[in-house]
A and B are shown apart, each in its own frame.
Chain A
Amino acid sequence: MQAMKQFITTDEKLRQLVHALSKNAWNIISAGKEGTNFIYINDGKDLVINADSKPTKLSAKEFFFPKTEPLFFYKKNHDGVDLLDPKDVLRKTVLFGVKPCDAAAVPVMGKVFNWDYKDEFFNRRVEQTVIIGMACSYSDVYCFCTSTGLSPESSKGSDVFLKPAQNSSYIAEAVTPKGEAFVVEFSSFFDAANENDVKLLLNSPKGPEKKFDANQVKQWLDGHFEDPLWNEVGETCLGCAQCAFTCPTCHCFDIVDESCGYNCGRRVKNWDGCQFGLFTKHASGHNPRGHQPERYRQRISHKFKYYQDKFGEILCTGCGRCTRGCPVGIDIAEIAQEINKRNSVLV
């Protein structure tokens, strides 16, 4: 196997890189300050590269799958209707300081957006974006990346991956051809790393303790569509979409038409969430998931069973946002742990 191409850069150089990107009309997005969101920046001094920071409130998915996105605009004319393509020219975009749990979610979502129908809206955003991931040394009681097959140093989904080293420097790995091309294009900010540079790497962050075994969770789910557990965990769920909307991998959407007056309007794709009662309600009035426990079972099963069945990996990267923000303290890792416990009793 060919060794990953490694480079060395510094905090200062990355800030200068922002300046260069800005001059070349790139969209530059940086992780926000502690506990905030990703922000658009134009100035190197606004760049936040902090391995210790808490995950942003919303994940990076909004840059590939926005909370609301027009599919087309329509306008009535004398003969009929004009359809207008909303796809404005996307500028080349770079996302700085993306945590492994956010970056890994992009290829995971990519599977469903390229399964039968190729979602050009998602794909063109991915194609236009360079993801600069970064090793993460933050960990709180809600984090569980290590239970989802990732780690604080997973470069999955990143095009370039930064690992902090001594003296405010970073070892940068070009993970994908796109990442390599980016480093080559902006080579004045990245030097080839030699053996001594690599020795400067800081100790690998430990990450959260492993909380559950996802394969065992799936095994249990295979045989427990009906189970008292669903009522236990689902009956106090109040049915909002905080979990789904802050999740880096949840990708359900609704399509609605909105008028801008009598003669014109647009069709938009909006985030939707499976905990809403309306999500599965049929036009007839029948709702196959009429109660919250059934909706909660869907959430867990989609994450750990259905996605695994269909695409070979789980729909969760362990960022912990769903639990961190749940108004009634429902904890997905704890439910997976409980399932592990029940599984081991059965075996």
Chain B
Amino acid sequence: MQELIQAAQAALTSKEAAFIIGYALTPDGKKTRPFIARTPDEAAKLVFNHTCAHNLAVYLTRIAKPKEGKMGIVAKGCDTRAIVALIQENKITRDQVYIIGVNCSGVTADVTLPFGADNLPSKCIMCQVQVPPVSDVLVGTAAPYDKPKDAVTERMQLLEAMNEHERFAFWASEFEKCIKCYACRQTCPMCYCEQCIVDKTVPRWIESSASLRGNFSWNMIRAFHLAGRCIGCGECERACPMDIPLMLLNRKMGMVAMQQFNYRHGVNPEEPTLVGSYNMQDNNEFFK
């Protein structure tokens, strides 16, 4: 912890960073939540523990860019993928961010329950980046933890085994629950459009009603917009008050990007994006 605070304070004192987007304890001391430290004193409140599930990269496109200094951010390995993806998509440049990478030992799915194999989000079960691959300074230690079987993978296999009618019925029953609160969009680091297509009214492309038709349009279009772009942090699913298994869709898209184009978003800041590049060797067999 001290290491994290020292790194943040050093970046703020040297004015390398204008602020640090990190985590602070809630007053009850049991959970954490996003916190923006602007002074070394404020930075003393920064913490990192098993309840730091949030992907803070979402704030990089929500907060006004400082006139001087970089945007400092505390990032887990999985979160750095979002930062790299934002660099690839020209939303930020590498020298606009100061990344305090935290070695991570997993986060909880439910912050009110103790950390453990039965309380892990899918992203931690599948995790291969306990040590952030990109950072300006690296703090903490990454302890190994027990990983159970991933329920999302199992569910995805069930879904893949369905025929298209069954699969349609499955998604119809899931999307019916949607209340159009847009928590999925608001928590998504890759959903940064200044005006989301669902908010456009002249003309209105997507019905704003939380009816089955409106819900289908919204959730499918969001999935398409994230095809080859989702970095798998699972924030949309964590935020969904109706427990719609959005990662089943997003992860499938990621798998297709990998199988068809050998592409994984948010890994190499120099690499052109999947939808922003064309290669003569690309697999074209789905054009029919």
Contacts and interface: CB of A to CB of B under 8 A. Distances in A.
Nearest to A62: B179
Interface stretch (B33-41, B80-88, B122-130): B33-41
Q: Interface extent on B, as a size class? A: 35 or more
A264 interface: no
A245 B209 contact: no
A329 B183 contact: no
A183 to B, nearest CB: 34
Nearest to A238: B186
A240 B36 contact: no
Find the residue from A254, A276, A327 having the highest chain B CB count within 10 A: A327
B199 A278 contact: yes
Contacts of A271: 179-180, 210
A270 B210 contact: yes
A245 B241 contact: yes
A329 B181 CA distance: 16
A235 to B, nearest CB: 6
B31 A329 contact: yes
B54 A328 contact: yes
B58 interface: yes
B221 interface: no
B235 A67 contact: no
A238 B181 CA distance: 12
A278 B186 CA distance: 13
B28 to A, nearest CB: 7
Contacts, number: 99
B182 A236 contact: no
Interface in B180-236: 180-183, 185-187, 199, 204, 207-211, 214, 235
B92 interface: no
Contacts of B262: none
Given A67-B179, A271-B179, A329-B33, A240 B186 contact: yes
A242 interface: yes
Contacts of A328: 33-34, 54, 187
A331 B179 CA distance: 21
B32 interface: yes
B265 interface: no
Contact of B26 (A241, A256, A278, A334): A334
B238 interface: yes
Nearest to B211: A68
B179 A236 contact: no
Contact of B209 (A68, A244, A276, A331): A68
B160 interface: no
A256 B58 contact: no
Contact of B208 (A244, A270, A330): A270
B243 interface: yes
A68 to B, nearest CB: 4
A21 to B, nearest CB: 25
B62 interface: yes
A276 B243 CA distance: 21
A325 B59 CA distance: 19
Contacts of A334: 26-27
A258 B209 CA distance: 9
B182 A240 contact: yes
Contacts of B204: 256, 258
Nearest to B30: A141
Interface string A227-258: 00000000110111110111000000010101
A67 B178 CA distance: 10
Interface in A187-245: 235-236, 238-242, 244-245
Interface of B: 26-28, 30-36, 54, 58-59, 62-63, 111-112, 179-183, 185-187, 199, 204, 207-211, 214, 235, 238-239, 241-243
